[in-house]
Amino acid sequence: MTSKQIVWKGTYYNTLEYLHIQSDDTHHIQGYITGLVKDLPLHVHYHITANADWETTGVLIRVHGHIQKELQFTRQDGKWYDKQGTIHEIFEPCIDIDISITPFTNTLAINRLSLVEGESKEITVLYFDLPAMDVKPVKQRYTKLADRLYRYESLWSGFTAELEVDDDGLVRDYPGIWVRDWPVSG
């Protein structure tokens, strides 16, 4: 089993995130985000599970602050279930997730897609807009520009960023939004 810890500082929102990943034949990711988002205090804990191919199999998000809310979804046999067991057919095209206030969820798509330099892929992800607590499928595109450099495009909002990642696909620099605070190398 391997273990990795990361700390990111939010520069767009005033946040700090601690991330812990444990990997063997599955990936267990725990993230804790604290700070101000849209000028409101917020603390978020998320737990993501992914299989060996980085396909998301579960997500639990707990939000504390001006709102108290929990979202939980699991993915089994291509279907997404909420914590009451209800199937959400509209989410079926989604393999990856994207939580708006963490750079980590880019790692899921980057590692799963395993793009070669110059290759681009359009995907549909299950997008969690925090703190609004809105959940919806959205289109995104990833392009591998160079070794450890990717272009991320949100096809529904028009947002684009070039992401510098480490050897494990974890974001080192997300210009204007997040920067890795620890470890700086790697």
This prediction has a pTM of 0.96
First-to-last C-alpha distance (Å) of the chain: 19
Helix (H) or strand (E) run with residue 109 in it = helix 105-113
Closest CA to 18 of 28, 31, 3: 31
> Is the pLDDT confidence value at 185 over 80?
no
Residue type, 132: A
Instruction: Determine the Cα–Cα distance for residues 112 and 157; give it in Å rounded to an integer.
Output: 23
Determine the average pLDDT of the residues in 58-82. 96
Instruction: Determine the Cα–Cα distance for residues 59 and 84; give it in Å rounded to an integer.
Output: 14
Instruction: Determine the Cα–Cα distance for residues 103 and 37; give it in Å rounded to an integer.
Output: 15
Domain ranges of the chain: 2-182
- Count of beta carbons in the 10 Å neighbourhood of residue 184: 9
Q: In the prediction, which pLDDT does 184 show?
A: 72
Determine the average pLDDT of the residues in 48-77. 97
The mean predicted confidence, pLDDT, of the chain is 96
Q: In the prediction, which pLDDT does 38 show?
A: 87
Q: In the prediction, which pLDDT does 148 show?
A: 98
Instruction: Determine the Cα–Cα distance for residues 72 and 81; give it in Å rounded to an integer.
Output: 8
For residue 98, what are the CA distances in angstroms to 1, 48, 64, 107, 114?
25, 11, 19, 10, 17
Q: Confidence class of residue 71 from pLDDT cuts 50, 70 and 90?
A: very high
- Count of beta carbons in the 10 Å neighbourhood of residue 172: 19
Q: In the prediction, which pLDDT does 66 show?
A: 84
Instruction: Determine the Cα–Cα distance for residues 71 and 53; give it in Å rounded to an integer.
Output: 24
Q: Are 140 and 152 in contact (CB under 8 A)?
A: yes
DSSP for residue 87: B
Q: In the prediction, which pLDDT does 186 show?
A: 57
3-state secondary structure of 185: coil
pLDDT digits (tens, 9 = 90+) for 80-105: 999 999 999 999 999 999 999 999 99
